[in-house]
Amino acid sequence: MRLPEAPSLYAASADPVPVYGELNQPIRADVAVIGGGFTGLSAALHLSEKGVDTVLLEANSVGWGASGRNGGQLHSGQRRDQDWLEARFGRDDARRLWRLGEEAKATTLGLIARHRIDCDWRLGLIEAVHKPRLVAGERAYVDKLRDEYRYEAVTWLDRGTLAETIGTDHYHGGRRDNGGGHLDPLKLARGLARAAAGAGARIFEGSQATGVSRKKHWVIRTDRGRVTAETVILAGNGYLDGIDRDAETRVMPIDNYILATAPIGAGQPDGLIPAGEAVSDTRFVVHYFRPSADGRLIFGGGETYARRPPADIAAFVRNHLLKVYPTMESTRIDYAWGGRLAVTMRRLPFVRRLRPGLYVASGYSGQGIALAPYAGKLVARAIVGDPGRFDQFAALPCPPFPGGRLFRYPALVAGMTWYALRDRL
Ligand SMILES: Cc1cc2nc3c(=O)[nH]c(=O)nc-3n(C[C@H](O)[C@H](O)[C@H](O)COP(=O)(O)OP(=O)(O)OC[C@H]3O[C@@H](n4cnc5c(N)ncnc54)[C@H](O)[C@@H]3O)c2cc1C
């Protein structure tokens, strides 16, 4: 039984979509993909384009998970910045990871262009600095990207310019990235599904994989059907539960929340954020916001780790909104929803061949609009015999969370609460 879409602005404003049927019989395929978000849809699309017979099982509807609910911000690089990556892996590998991040961004934008996916793509992303003591470092980082990485799409915005650009003096400066931007993620997910189905992938919605086992072939069971396949891709990310212990010990689901205001002219030339950029900030629990295509402010902030949403999501996120825009005290909130992302210990993706014929790609740690379609493509390429880039991601360290599959939550709650507290100090 498929669960309804999240009560998001995206779901409310999307065009009607084809409903893909439920799997209700035993079938065979070369590859079975579990999960119909960016990862799974991209994998299915790229495999089908290579002539591989691919089945995708989605428990609910395509884009139902994080892919159809997120903040819509397309970032450059990896979730970790280049300073962190250089300190950890050395300059050469850090540069390689930067290039992979650029390829990821280009993959998402290339898919949008190639498949003519109308998803309100808009250029421009700002990283806003929430503490004066972070300004010097962030400013130096702009110079580093320009000088050492030859990435000239970034510029520094001083405090006054940033305040004019985004309509609040809450921040102390910011990095404008003209290579990033924002989009409507549910439209992107549905566009990828259309492209994958058009290329020949068989998509089944309302078809939760309840178990994956291997005899001569892989067998994936659903309530009313079964897929027998040579290869399986686990693409359930934060929602994948009870399928693979190894993946679950390395990837931690986190619930994050968003609201959308009433239309206020945001992103329009004479409104709030007149050039229409998306913004995310330097907090550990990030505040992120952007104008929607119809002039609302979409604002994300606040997360929970106990798999229980706040009783009143709108009020929960609004507390964060008012820190950034205190003048919005009386602005109406029209939509509020949550979604589940997945983080790893090192905040780098978990992309692996777990066992012969069993792949996983997940744990994008809040940067999946670029990394998830890319990871899906790399897994697809590895399956058809071109593992180059896949191997580079698969070599990234991804230690298990302390406490393992069952006891990782208490350790996470303690750790995250400490960092969230540091945001306020
Ligand atoms: C509130 C929020 C804001 C975010 N903001 C941003 C942002 O601004 N920029 C950014 O880059 N990233 C952002 N992210 C992260 C981004 O959305 C994810 O990294 C990305 O969507 C992951 O895609 P995915 O396909 O791997 O997983 P998902 O989109 O979560 O898809 C997984 C799918 O698998 C299905 N599934 C799970 N188990 C099974 C099963 N057993 N059988 C069948 N189907 C199954 C689920 O129903 C789900 O549809 C955000 C995430 C959230 C939650």
Same domain, 177 and 260: yes
User: Which residue spans within 205-349 are E strands per DSSP?
Assistant: 211-214, 218-221, 226-234, 252-261, 278-281, 288-291, 297-304, 333-343
Please spell the DSSP secondary structure of 122-163, one letter per residue. EEEEEEE--SGGGHHHHHHHHHHHHHTS--TTEEEE-HHHHH
Say if ligand 1 is within 6 A of residue 124 CB: no
Say if ligand 1 is within 6 A of residue 259 CB: no
- Please provide residue 249's backbone torsions phi and psi, each rounded to the nearest 5 degrees: -75, -20
Say if ligand 1 is within 6 A of residue 35 CB: yes
Same domain, 266 and 330: yes
Same domain, 176 and 271: yes
CA distance 254 to 259: 17
**Dist. CA 91 → ligand 1 center (Å):** 31
Q: What is the rounded average pLDDT for all residues in the chain? A: 94
Counting ligand 1 atoms within 8 A of each CB, the residue from 80, 107, 237 with the most, and so the one to mutate, is: 237
**Dist. CA 37 → ligand 1 center (Å):** 6
Percent of the chain with pLDDT over 70: 94
Global confidence as pTM: 0.95
**Dist. CA 275 → ligand 1 center (Å):** 28
| Domain span holding position 28 | 9-69+187-251+346-404
**Dist. CA 121 → ligand 1 center (Å):** 19
Residue 370 and residue 75 in contact, taking contact as beta carbons nearer than 8 Å: yes
Please spell the DSSP secondary structure of 223-241, one letter per residue. SS-EEEEEEEEE--GGG--
For residue 133, what is the domain's CATH number?
Answer: 3.30.9.10
Say if ligand 1 is within 6 A of residue 107 CB: no
Work out how many domains the chain is built from and give that number.
2
CA distance 61 to 123: 28
Say if ligand 1 is within 6 A of residue 76 CB: no
Quote the distance between the C-alpha of residue 175 and its chain's center. 21
Lowest mean pLDDT among 16-25, 80-89, 108-117: 16-25
- In the prediction, which pLDDT does 246 show? 84
β-bridge partners, 233: 33, 359
307 against 378, higher pLDDT: 378
pLDDT in tens, 344-365: 999 999 999 999 999 999 999 9
- In the prediction, which pLDDT does 272 show? 97
Same domain, 210 and 321: no
Same domain, 361 and 239: yes
- In the prediction, which pLDDT does 34 show? 98
Atom of ligand 1 nearest to the CA of 40: 25
**Dist. CA 5 → ligand 1 center (Å):** 13
Query: Quick check: 413 pLDDT over 90?
Result: no
Counting ligand 1 atoms within 8 A of each CB, the residue from 107, 292, 369, 378 with the most, and so the one to mutate, is: 369
For residue 26, what is the domain's CATH number?
Answer: 3.50.50.60
Same domain, 174 and 153: yes
Say if ligand 1 is within 6 A of residue 62 CB: no
**Dist. CA 234 → ligand 1 center (Å):** 12
Q: Among 169, 137, 170, 183, which Cα is nearest to 156's?
A: 137
| Token pair for 420 | 């969230």
Lowest mean pLDDT among 69-73, 281-285, 295-299, 379-383: 281-285
Whether residue 104 is contained in a domain is answered as: no
User: Atom 47 in ligand 1: which residue has the minimum CA distance?
Assistant: 59
Same domain, 174 and 134: yes
Say if ligand 1 is within 6 A of residue 239 CB: yes
145 against 1, higher pLDDT: 145
Same domain, 138 and 240: no
Residue type, 72: G
Query: Quick check: 28 pLDDT over 60?
Result: yes
Percent of the chain with pLDDT over 90: 88
**Dist. CA 368 → ligand 1 center (Å):** 8
Residue type, 342: A
- In the prediction, which pLDDT does 387 show? 94
